[in-house]
A = this chain, B = another copy of it.
Amino acid sequence: MLKQKAKFSLKMSGRDYHGIAKKKERLKAFLKERGFKSTRQRDVIATAFLKTEGHITAEELYRKITRRHEHIGFTTVYRTLKLLAKSGFAVERVFADNLTRYEQLSAKDHHDHLICLDCGAITEFENTKLENLQKRIAHEFGFDTVAHKMELYGYCSKCRSDNPDVSGPLVDK
């Protein structure tokens, strides 16, 4: 009774809600162009990653994948995420917990992060004024900026209402 589902599982699982098919084509093209090889593992990992919204560690993605009984090594997940980052499909980010997370590189290119110190939720935001101000400041110091990192740590409204007297682990200053 699972036949019909299985029949298409390798080529398409349901509608392509995330535009994954196109991305995978682009990835394949990228690999060929650079003389890298297309493998089953890379396909599985890339698919799983591209389905993911938000920020995920190599470990988390690895667990997600192996849960579905794929026997793919952690190293390969790790390396594939690096590859995705180098090929422009993913961005590496390190927040205050010092874990490396990957997020998809989307159209929403320049954004920053709000991080809840209680539940760990990561909210993205974009603010043009902030961008401009950053550039202006860098300029004042004779800096040519190529990247920036801007994170706001605090407590989201949900966590504050759950737990009014927050005294969680501070992070920075």
Nearest B-chain residue to A85, judged by Cβ: B173
Number of chain copies forming the complex? 2
A160 touches B144 (CB 8 A): yes
Binds B, one of A18-26, A30-38, A46-54, A126-134: A126-134
- Of all chain B residues, the one with the shortest Cβ separation from A142 is B157
Give Cα A123–Cα B152 distance, bound, in whole angstroms: 20
Residues of B within 8 A of A134 (CB): 130, 150, 152
Is A7 engaged at the interface, CB distance under 8 Å to the other chain?
A: no
Task: State which of B92, B96, B143 has its C-beta within 8 Å of the C-beta of A156.
Answer: B143
Residues of A at the B interface (CB closer than 8 Å) are: 91-94, 96, 98, 105, 109-110, 114, 116-117, 123, 125, 127, 129-130, 133-134, 137-138, 140-157, 160, 170-173
